[in-house]
A and B are shown apart, each in its own frame.
Chain A
Amino acid sequence: MKTTPLVELRDVTKEFHGNPAIKNVNFELYPAEIHSLLGENGAGKSTLTKIIAGVHEPTAGEVLFNGEKVNFANPQEAMENGIAMVFQETSLVPSLTVAQNLELGNEKLLSRLRGLYISAQQFLQSLNFEVDPTMQVSQLGAAQKQMVEIARAVRHQAKVIIFDEPTATLTPEEKHHFFALVNRLKKDGVSIIFISHALEEALAVSDRITILRDGEHVVTDVVSAFDRDSIIRHMVGRTLSHEIYGEAGDKRQARPMGRRVLSVQNLSMGGIVRNTSFSVFEGQITGVFGLIGSGRTETFKIISGVLKRDFFHGGEVRLNGKPVRYRVPRPAIHDGIVYVTEDRKLEGFFETKSIAQNIYSGLLGADLNRAPVISYKEMADLAEVWTKRLNVKAIDNNSRVIELSGGNQQKVVVAKALVQKPKLIILDEPTRGVDVGAISEIHHVINELADSGMSVVVISSYLPEILKLSDRVLVYRLGRVVEEFSVEEATEEKIMYAAVH
């Protein structure tokens, strides 16, 4: 591998309004290698790759491409030179078909749809992607959108493809496809930069790994020099792995089962939730595992009133033995059922509002405010208490939530739910898009809640998280609970087997 690097960054610094996002970073990418870029949220991974892809210009330092100094003014220019970036939020046109999106940017003045579809079909087949080129992009699932995006990069004969968290929205099976593709691209001589929060994936797929922390380069080495613990140590500057997910063979005692708080019988909604039945007990964490689309989120959204069950034969939900049926979340919150969403930006927080205002909004929603009018003092005191308890890091409590990192945003959303004094709290993917340091803090809070006697439901697609937190594990498949394990008997293999077969 001692050839000239395809892409090289020398002492690159990028400042935003005087604050450096990355400082004096050196980075090399060799031809036909898969190079993972790891670091906590805010470590500067995205900034670094955006400099390579021509989105940002470096404040200082130089970028070399094929050994020559370059200065891409925009992503278009980088693309013409063979550098393509697949963004986290897809950049496809939802109202056009797959084939039209593939052609985007180099359409002819007049084009024939039929010809377009045929060539797109051939092209997608050559990549082994099962996507119908005549489908509108808005009708595709997340993984298929990702495939189209990748296909577009390949089509432009990119020499370097940058993936920014490509696997976050994929199911295990789709991930498998994705990594097969990445390996095939590598064989064809394409270099790949891979940003991910999933360390196992990075370890499995990469040739080399670079770790950033607080905008500074920490270490770059071949993959065999790392393991999980050493990566986390480099990422956060301390050992955390044990705190976060425990050792593989580490067995915990489950908390004793309390009173039956929630009992669900034959709950149904469309084709997504199908006659599911289960119970949730007090003083315990009930972990809910299932692949994306298995109906677990929808089930708990019905329980908390966010969605409605089928009108006919929709089943029954009993809270403390009494049948309940909520059409909106408000009465559920009054009864003590609080749902914390998996998509905090879409339905979690108020983006124009500050941390304090967001937390106070939760209090108002549950009608637990002391003064009959808005009390700015009560709001400040409340924010003070909760940001301290959950360790929200921000300049002050008047910072806007949208400006925080993912982990801190999640803590604000959790605080907003906890001020509503729930008896049953449902946390949907509580650590998605959250950095390693914040994960352990959020887990700590969740454990405290269960210890204090609350019923806690944690929905997660990440097995180590389920095993670390749960006292009982419910496994979802095709719209219903298919298996139940206690933590003593659960293993990753057993749970996965139940979720897939």
Chain B
Amino acid sequence: MRFPKRLGSLSQEQIVFLITICMFLVFSLTLDNFLATSNILSLLRSVAVLGILGLGMLIVVLGRGIDLSMVANMAISVAWTIQLVRVGMPLGWALTTGLGFSLLMSAITGVLIAYAEIPAIFATLAMGTFIYGFGRAHLITGTDVVYLPAEFGWASAIGQGKLAGIPVPILLAIAMAIIAYLFLRYSKLGWNIFNIGDNQSAARISGIPVRPVIVLKYVLSGGAAYVAGLITATAVQSMNTRIVNSNMIYDVILIVVLGGVSLSGGRGSVRNVIVGTLLIGVLVNGMTIMDIQYTIQNVIKSLILLLAIVADSLINPRDEQTGQQGDI
């Protein structure tokens, strides 16, 4: 009964889900190859990376934060991993080092936000730029693009392999979604992230270790970024660090907000991210089959993002009138 009547008391998640279904049906009827198994699999595969990044972002946003450094973190840590393998480091060590770098960087971000109390949007923006600059200057030598060497061995299956006919990236995304769901629902840390996003002062007074939880939240998003990066790199046999300058990070925010996760924190679930990811997957896939220009696709996506943010502020308002206690 808190939702505006004119929306038929649907939550944003339900609306987005309905739109996805409608678009799916329309595309299935009008586009020839849309419903083919191979297309559906490639649709899912194309958004698997986005979905995993979205899960990391979800955890950060639930605790009333935002992580704009995810794409930079993903590109540089994975590119460095590849670089290390190229110069002869054993694969296992290289993967560990890359992951360690990614976690360290996000921990520094977390410390800046939690202890130095820099607003998340500035801290992550600055850290994103720092990671990219530092990586390009000192970690990755030569070109923007680091190619996968043959020594990458079994790890290249992460992006290219198939299990029972289903591409590994899809399976990984599903596994990560399940882990994130269980983490948010059953772990104390996940519960505390929700509480901090809801009311940070109340969380502090209740004895929740607010600052460590905030740091951990960013570390988790760094971990998600590393997994997403490995999939990206092994799928296309290279890591193009210029991805940092693309608008990928906005796509990540798009799927999170679109699914109905509130940017003001405390409200949202893994389901929201899945719904948002599917909408973008169907939309982009359909538009690609229809041969719509990339630039026009961006216009359409951005309009949808704006719509989602407006809907968010209408459905999850934080103003005095509805935030009031039950005085009727």
Contacts and interface: CB of A to CB of B under 8 A. Distances in A.
Interface in B49-90: none
A366 interface: yes
A353 B199 CA distance: 10
A406 B328 CA distance: 11
B325 interface: yes
A128 interface: no
Contacts of B205: 304, 306, 329, 339, 341, 347-348
B191 A346 contact: no
A42 B207 CA distance: 32
Contact of B204 (A46, A306, A352, A404): A306
Interface string A16-40: 1101010000000000000000000
Contacts of A366: 207
A291 B203 CA distance: 28
B195 A350 contact: yes
B327 to A, nearest CB: 5
Interface string B182-212: 0001111011101100110111111111110
Nearest to A56: B328
B202 A364 contact: no
Given A17-B1, A330-B208, A373 B195 contact: no
Nearest to B264: A352
A379 to B, nearest CB: 10
Contacts of A89: 320, 324
B198 A350 contact: yes
B188 A369 contact: yes
A35 B77 CA distance: 70
Contacts of B328: 16, 19, 21, 42, 44, 46-47
B188 A352 contact: no
B326 interface: yes
Contacts of A86: none
A405 B328 CA distance: 9
A416 B205 CA distance: 11
B326 A403 contact: yes
Contacts of A350: 194-195, 198-199, 202-203, 266
B209 to A, nearest CB: 6
A349 interface: yes
A438 B326 CA distance: 15
A406 B202 contact: no
Contact of B207 (A403, A405, A420): A420
A464 to B, nearest CB: 24
A361 interface: yes
A204 B326 CA distance: 29
B267 interface: yes
A334 interface: yes
B325 A374 contact: no
Interface in A414-471: 416, 420
Contacts of B320: 89
B185 to A, nearest CB: 7
A410 B72 CA distance: 46
Contacts of B198: 350-353
Given A350-B202, A351-B198, A361-B206, A402 B192 contact: no
Contacts of B207: 329-330, 333-334, 362, 365-367, 420
Q: Determine which residue in A42, A333, A353 has the highest number of CB atoms from chain B within 10 A of its CB, and name it.
A: A353
Contacts of A276: none
Interface residues of A, number: 46
A308 to B, nearest CB: 13
Contacts of A330: 207-209
B323 interface: yes
Q: Determine which residue in B1, B201, B202, B267 has the highest number of CB atoms from chain A within 10 A of its CB, and name it.
A: B202
Nearest to B182: A373
A42 B326 contact: yes
A114 B201 CA distance: 41
Nearest to A362: B206
Contacts of B327: 41-42, 46, 405-406
A330 B267 CA distance: 25
Contacts of A361: 191, 195, 203, 206, 208
Given A333-B207, A341-B205, A364 B326 contact: no
Contacts of B187: 373-374
Contacts of A156: none
A387 interface: no
B188 A347 contact: no
Given A21-B328, A329-B207, A346 B195 contact: no
A328 interface: yes
A405 B324 CA distance: 10
Contacts of B267: 352
Contact of B326 (A349, A352, A402): A402
Contacts of B266: 350, 352
Contacts of A146: none
Contacts of B199: 346-347, 349-351
Nearest to A433: B325
A409 interface: yes
A333 B205 CA distance: 9
A347 B148 CA distance: 52
A318 interface: no
Contacts of B325: 345, 402-406, 409
A18 to B, nearest CB: 10
B224 to A, nearest CB: 21
A351 B326 contact: no
Nearest to A17: B1
A404 B328 CA distance: 10
Q: Determine which residue in A328, A352, A362 has the highest number of CB atoms from chain B within 10 A of its CB, and name it.
A: A352
A328 B204 contact: yes
B155 to A, nearest CB: 32
Interface in A321-363: 328-330, 333-334, 339, 341, 345-353, 361-362
Nearest to A369: B188
Give the top 8 A-B pairs by smallest Cβ distance, nearest first. A365-B207, A347-B201, A365-B206, A333-B207, A350-B198, A373-B186, A21-B328, A403-B326
Interface of B: 1, 185-188, 190-192, 194-195, 198-199, 201-211, 266-267, 320, 323-328
Given A339-B205, A351-B323, 11 more contacts: A21-B328, A46-B328, A47-B328, A330-B207, A346-B199, A353-B195, A353-B198, A364-B191, A365-B203, A372-B188, A373-B187
11 contacts: A42-B326, A328-B204, A329-B206, A350-B202, A361-B191, A361-B195, A361-B203, A366-B207, A374-B190, A405-B327, A416-B206
